[in-house]
A and B are shown apart, each in its own frame.
Chain A
Amino acid sequence: MSIHEYVSKGAPESAHWIGVVTDTPNSTQARLAASGLEWEVEKTIIGLEMLFLVRLPEPSSEGFLSLGPEVLHAIRDGHGAVIERPTSFLDAISLSQGKSLDEATAATFANTDARAVEGALENMPEGPVRELVRVYLESISVVQSQHGIRGNGERTLKFISHFWELGDAGVTERFLQVLPKITGRGAASGGLERSAKQRPQFEARLSALECRVRLRR
């Protein structure tokens, strides 16, 4: 059973909570806000690291021990969807009317297919679903930036929608798997157009992402 199916059963009267330690609190908070799970911020540990407390959507009298890690991986790491695919929301994104975004506030990297989707996302109603989609886009744009994958956003939007259940990190990992085929077809014809200023940041993120993929294999 997925997390959103547990959540849809309604909050149990008594339940256990789990501590979630993260150094990506914005993404974690976006997942939590959309999930429908009950949660609280316990504290900032050091720097960006934060401890969230999340109530498990299963009564404490039931077998919740397997649910704890599942919720942890979805909320902390983005492995597993926290809500059912928001089909109507994704379908309503109009890629032809995307806005130009401020680099300082954009979640995605410039000159990526995901950036085109994020630009279009600005026309969608504000709310937790929009922010969750942004997390999906942010994750996949790291890889796209490294490999110069640009476009009008259509393929990224379809890819995210199709693999939604994997969670944002899961979608990106799936994207990494097909990357050789994508770049082999010349999709990366634009080359690596990132600026020298961006390089250290996204290379660190890419290597971290690739390291996570290796760790999970």
Chain B
Amino acid sequence: MHEKREAGKMRAPVGEIEAYWVELPDGVCPDDAEVRAECAGVVVHRSNPRQPLFRTDVPVEGATIENATTFTTVEQLVSGHAKVRACPAVLNEVEIAAEDCMRETSAQAVAAAFERALRNQQISREDYKCAALYLTAFAEVQSKQPCSDSPEDTRALLMKFWQLGDMSAGEAYRERIARRRHVPTLDWIAEAEREG
């Protein structure tokens, strides 16, 4: 019944720090957040599937106000508002076959190509899961706002917006399409008269 009380063992052992953990930010899908955490190497506590916790590297003892940025960083990572890993260049080398392009959206076509690349071990599981989050966000935009972006265009935009994180990339893509759709038609006559 007696518990051992040894002064030397009061500190956390090597490899396990007594750190702050952050909760899942409001409105974030737990499953997606866990994928992001896994890709970023953030430790997740999953006892409650709806409310996973994510470990920061901020120690409980000795933390200062400057550490607040670390909390924000982890929250942004798991929310999809910061890149969780470097953009894998190999994604550019995946061939998008004609059969992939039978999907409803270009983003889904790219996802199909990546899925095949995963099966062929051309890309890693983490790269695939991470890219799939971006493509899901893009597909959602494309299904609501039909656009002329080809699968190749979509992949190029995926690479371009990668650093934003998947959710922010989706928002950036939505804004891009919205801007494209609202370019005012040029009145040739008015322009000509203005020039004259």
Q: Which residues of A contact B (CB under 8 A)?
A: 14-21, 23-27, 40-42, 45-46, 48-49, 51, 53, 60, 65, 68-69, 72, 76-77, 104-107, 138, 142, 201-202, 204-205, 208-209, 211-212, 215
Give Cα distance in the complex from A17 to B71, angstroms: 11
A24 pairs with B3, CB closer than 8 A: yes
* Nearest Cβ on chain B to A66's Cβ, whole angstroms: 9
Interface 1/0 per residue, B8-39 and A, CB below 8 Å: 11111100111111110010000000000000
Of the listed stretches B59-67, B93-101, B121-129, B152-160, name the one at the interface; the rest are far from the partner chain. Answer: B59-67
Give A104's nearest chain B residue, CB to CB: B1
Give Cα distance in the complex from A18 to B19, angstroms: 6
Give A202's nearest chain B residue, CB to CB: B2
A16 pairs with B17, CB closer than 8 A: no
Q: Which residues of B contact A (CB under 8 A)?
A: 1-13, 16-23, 26, 45, 47-48, 53, 55, 60-61, 63-65, 67, 71
Give Cα distance in the complex from A76 to B22, angstroms: 20
9 more A-B contacts (CB under 8 A) besides A19-B55, A205-B2?
Answer: A16-B22, A18-B60, A21-B13, A27-B3, A53-B21, A65-B67, A106-B1, A138-B2, A211-B8
Give Cα distance in the complex from A41 to B61, angstroms: 20
- The 5 tightest CB contacts between A and B, nearest first, are A211-B7, A17-B21, A21-B12, A24-B3, A208-B6
Most buried by A among B8, B21, B63: B21
Give Cα distance in the complex from A52 to B93, angstroms: 45
Contact of A53 among B12, B26, B53 (CB under 8 A): B53
- Please name all residues of chain B whose beta carbon is closer than 8 Å to the beta carbon of A107 when the two chains form the complex: 1-2
B18 pairs with A24, CB closer than 8 A: no
- Please name all residues of chain B whose beta carbon is closer than 8 Å to the beta carbon of A215 when the two chains form the complex: 7
A204 pairs with B4, CB closer than 8 A: yes
Give A20's nearest chain B residue, CB to CB: B18
B5 pairs with A24, CB closer than 8 A: yes
Give Cα distance in the complex from A202 to B4, angstroms: 9
* Nearest Cβ on chain A to B56's Cβ, whole angstroms: 9
* Nearest Cβ on chain A to B10's Cβ, whole angstroms: 7
A21 pairs with B6, CB closer than 8 A: no
Q: Given A105-B1, A205-B2, is A23 in contact with B9 using a C-beta cutoff of 8 Å?
A: yes
- Please name all residues of chain B whose beta carbon is closer than 8 Å to the beta carbon of A20 when the two chains form the complex: 18
B7 pairs with A16, CB closer than 8 A: no
A69 pairs with B7, CB closer than 8 A: no
Contact of B5 among A19, A53, A105, A209 (CB under 8 A): A209
Give Cα distance in the complex from A76 to B5, angstroms: 11
A26 pairs with B3, CB closer than 8 A: yes
A69 pairs with B47, CB closer than 8 A: no
Give Cα distance in the complex from A177 to B7, angstroms: 18
Q: Given A17-B21, A45-B16, A215-B7, is A201 in contact with B1 using a C-beta cutoff of 8 Å?
A: no
Give Cα distance in the complex from A51 to B60, angstroms: 13
Give Cα distance in the complex from A21 to B55, angstroms: 14
B7 pairs with A208, CB closer than 8 A: yes
